[in-house]
Amino acid sequence: MKKIKVLNVDITPLTKEQLNGEIRGSLKGKRILISKVNSEFLLRSLKSEEFATTLEKFDLNVADGIGVLWAAKYLSLPFLSKKSRITNFKLLITIEAVCQMVYSGASLVFYPKYCRYPIPEAFRGVDMMHLMLDFAEKEKLSVYLFGAPKETLEKTVENIRNDFKNILIAGSRNGYDFKDEEIVKAINDSGAEIIFVALGSPQQEYWIRDNISKLNSIKIAVGEGGSFNFIAGTYKRAPRWMRTLAIEWLWRLFANKNTTTTEKSRISRVWKAVPVFIYQVVRFKLKNK
């Protein structure tokens, strides 16, 4: 499947049905590494060559969030100004780039389908984890959960067992004070076939990169980010209508204030995920016109 270049990351353009088909490939002996790429990943890929190179080693870099779909659409729009004979070409291109940014961004609210090409669907982190857990339960594949604080992890395991009655949880380990060799041994001893790694990015992607070759029975490895927090109930998800309108970032700014995430950290993440991200995507387009 042809991948779509968004900033410095190759995104795999998948529908839910196509994703199901890809992960079923693990049943035929193919090991699959999955990264869920959001706007922060894309920004990091511009600054860190190591991170961008690491994501190249993942089989599926799926879009996590509407921002990635918008960036892919925006970057795919051609510059009509290139055909113009106007002498002040640079100014005209800049104006066109800004206009494209405005109308493609507005389409997220007024006509969301517009941004569903070239990437047809976004997989929000916790939604995709539920999809993977459902797949594991149906195919009787055992899972291992690695990451998050101890209390969050325990609640995550408890809620997964409640929601997926027949799930096979081979083991779990929190993401603090660990040694790689001890974790690798525990996973191998458990015989787990799917591992969810929630160490935060980029640590989880680097950990998968450095250790996947040592994990004997793992068929699928997924970088999970903050999904454990949502499953545990530590973080509350935005209402569905906010997710539909692609303003979940606004919810994150004001919600979950009882967590360990500081106000400054929340504002910083939203600032990077929205205005900084938009600016960098426009800048990237103008630079690579």
Domain extent for 277: 68-121+236-287
Crossing angle, helix 277-287 and helix 39-47, to 10 degrees?
Answer: 50
The reported pLDDT for the residue numbered 95 is 93
Shared-domain flag, residues 104 and 126: no
Predicted confidence band at 178 (pLDDT cuts at 50, 70, 90)? very high
Identify whether residues 240 and 132 lie together within a single domain: no
**Which residue, 196, 212, 232, sits at the end of a domain?**
232
> Using CA of residue 221, residue 226, residue 227, residue 229, what is the dihedral sign?
positive
Domain identity same for 134 and 36? yes
Is pLDDT above 80 for 271?
no
* In a shared domain, residues 11 and 126: yes
Same domain, 153 and 247: no
Please tell me the predicted confidence (pLDDT) of residue 26: 86
Rounded to an integer, the average pLDDT of 5-22 is 95
pLDDT for res 28: 84
Q: Please tell me the distance from the alpha carbon of residue 68 to that of residue 83, in angstroms, as a whole number.
A: 28
CA distance 30 to 144: 18
Distance (Å, whole) CA 234 – CA 43: 26
Give 152-167 pLDDT, tens digit per residue.
Answer: 999 999 999 999 999 9
Q: Is the peptide bond before 118 cis (omega within 30 degrees of 0)?
A: yes
Instruction: Tell me how crowded residue 89 is: count the other CB atoms within 10 A of its CB.
Output: 13
> Does residue 198 sit in the same domain as residue 273?
no
pLDDT tens digit string along 50-104? 999 999 999 999 999 899 999 999 999 999 866 655 556 788 899 999 999 999 9
Mean pLDDT of the chain: 91
Instruction: Give the chain's largest Cα–Cα span.
Output: 69
Q: What local confidence, expressed as pLDDT, does residue 253 receive?
A: 63
**Residue ending a domain, choose from 192, 216, 232:** 232
Residue with tokens 């992890």: 153
Q: Identify whether residues 147 and 279 lie together within a single domain.
A: no
Number of independent structural domains in the chain: 2
Give the pLDDT confidence score for residue 62 in this predicted structure: 97
Q: Where is average pLDDT lowest: 10-14, 232-236, 250-254, 284-288?
A: 250-254
CA torsion, ordered 77, 81, 82, 86, to nearest 10 deg: -170
Alpha-carbon torsion 131, 135, 140, 143, what sign?
A: negative
Whether residues 86 and 59 share a domain: the answer is no
pLDDT in tens, 209-265: 999 999 999 999 999 989 999 999 998 888 888 777 666 766 766 666 555 555 667
Q: What is the pLDDT of residue 235?
A: 87
Pairing of strands 32-37, 60-63: parallel
Q: What CATH number did the domain enclosing 58 receive?
A: 3.40.50.10700
Q: How far apart are CA 142 and CA 168, in angstroms?
A: 5
* Same domain flag for 34 and 141: yes
Same domain, residue pair 220 and 268? no
Listed residues 197, 212, 232: the one ending a domain: 232
- pLDDT at residue 187, rounded to an integer: 98
Instruction: Name the least confident of 37-46, 225-234, 261-270.
Output: 261-270
Same domain flag for 11 and 135: yes
What pLDDT sits at residue 273?
Answer: 74
Looking at the fold, whether 172 and 198 belong to one and the same domain comes out as: yes
Angle between helices 16-24 and 125-139 (to 10 degrees): 50
